Amino acid sequence: MALKLGEMLVESGIITQAELDETLKSQVIFGGKIGTNLIEMGYIEEEELAQFLSKKLGVPCAGNEQLINLHPGALKLIPKEIVRKYRVVPLGLDKKKLYVAMEDPSNLASIDEISFMTGFIVMPLIATELSIILALEKHYGIKRETRYITVANGGRRQTRAARSAGADTTNKAKVPEPQAAKPAAVLQKEEVIELPFLSELNDYDFALSPSPTPPAVSISIDNETIEKYTIDTFSMELAEAEDRDAIANLIVTFVGQEFDRVALFMVKGNTASGWNTLSQGKPIAGFEDFQIPLKMQSVLQIVAEGKSFYLGPLADTPANSTMLTAMGGGKPATALLVPLVMMGRVVSILYVEGGKAPLGDRVVHMQKVIGKAAMAFEILILKSKILMT
């Protein structure tokens, strides 16, 4: 359904092909489902998307009030691990019927498992990914990922206000009122990022080897043989990366061979967050939970605003201290940070420190690494476009 949703929206005149193309770029870089990215880009309202899916699938959609005020008995029927696995929210009970909000009501396996587990007939309702995420956080304490944290409002969403205001709301299912329900509240709406159109990548002067993939170089350390990435093997694997996290893993693994500590930060809206890291060749637990607002003074703020690399010592600021703590602690004498710029803005930042060679001598090399990563994202974008046609 995810691969066809964009096409259906274009055919229905709700979004344009250009808007879908830009959304695919955002999805490749930041992850998530195409519907969520459309909402974040401001090309469709959450309510409008829910009603569209409801009509197409012939399944009622769950309202925000229903996702806020859950039936206490229904809430206890489905354990946390199951709602996390299938991204579902139990809404209410009516005799032997259990109403459940789902991202994908066509997932019969999840419906069968929930029905078998609870002994109730499952009545699915559709809800957007954003609504499910917020409800799971509220009722089950399942922490949402950084990409779902509210960010500053963007202008594109406002341009579609008139269209979304007329969305049909007649297909809402009636779910039994919860016991001892509190006054209805409105789910917090996710705001969107103002993303300009894709800009040209920096024209780095490097070429991929035309020969078959070279073998990795084997090195021996204390009688242990490990595989070492060369620039050629790194390039070839980047070209074949299947998703954004595979690209991140390749960057950190390749660069981590040379430096004592390496980290990759995601920049989305006004927030910088942890994505992937290695310290002395080992991952750091909990790094993905790190996040700081870019309004705070930090080296990440400098790089994000300047769209250029940073080389030098780190100032003693609370945000820098928080960043270093997330990476395992300790303050380096010098650090190098290089931005990955796409869509006219910084979307990721590579951080390195230590190593045998002076960091100043490695600036151009790290820029080429990031340039290759940007090209890998472009390949994923092209693949997404191919699958959408």
178, pLDDT greater than 70:
no
Rg (CA), the chain: 23
pLDDT in tens, 150-167: 433 343 444 444 444 444
**Domain ranges within the chain, ordered by starting residue:** 2-165, 217-388
pLDDT, position 3: 41
Query: In angstroms, rounded to a whole number, what is the distance separating the alpha carbons of residues 360 and 343?
Result: 28
Proportion of the chain above pLDDT 90, given as a percent:
39
Over range 212-240, report the average pLDDT.
Answer: 61
Per-residue pLDDT, 204: 34
Q: What is the mean pLDDT of residues 201-214?
A: 35
On the question of pLDDT at 195 being above 50, the answer is: no
Task: Give yes or no for residue 222 having a pLDDT over 70.
Answer: no
The mean-pLDDT minimum among 188-197, 281-290, 334-343 falls in 188-197
pTM of structure: 0.60
In 3D space, the residue among 281, 279, 317 whose CA is nearest the CA of residue 300 turns out to be 317
User: What local confidence, expressed as pLDDT, does residue 154 receive?
Assistant: 40
| Residue 171: φ, ψ to 5° | -105, 25
What's the pLDDT score for residue 358? 93
What's the CATH architecture for 2-165? 2-Layer Sandwich (3.30)
> What is the pLDDT at residue 200?
35
pLDDT at residue 71, rounded to an integer:
82
Band the pLDDT of 173: cuts 50, 70, 90.
low
pLDDT of residue 260: 96
Number of residues that make up the chain: 389
Each residue of 26-69: pLDDT tens digit?
888 888 788 888 888 888 888 888 888 888 888 898 887 888 88
Instruction: Tell me the per-residue pLDDT of 6-26, one tens digit each, with 9 for 90 and over.
Output: 888 888 889 888 888 888 888
The residue-averaged pLDDT of 118-128 equals 91
Q: How far apart are the first and last CA of the chain?
A: 14
| Assigned fold of 217-388 | Beta-Lactamase (3.30.450)
Question: Does 360 score more than 70 pLDDT?
Answer: yes
Structure token pair of residue 75:
């809430």
Per-residue pLDDT band for 349 (boundaries 50, 70, 90) equals very high
Reply yes or no on whether the pLDDT at 132 is more than 50.
yes
> Quick one: pLDDT band at residue 300, thresholds 50, 70, 90?
very high
- At 212 the pLDDT is 38
pLDDT top residue among 107 and 121: 121
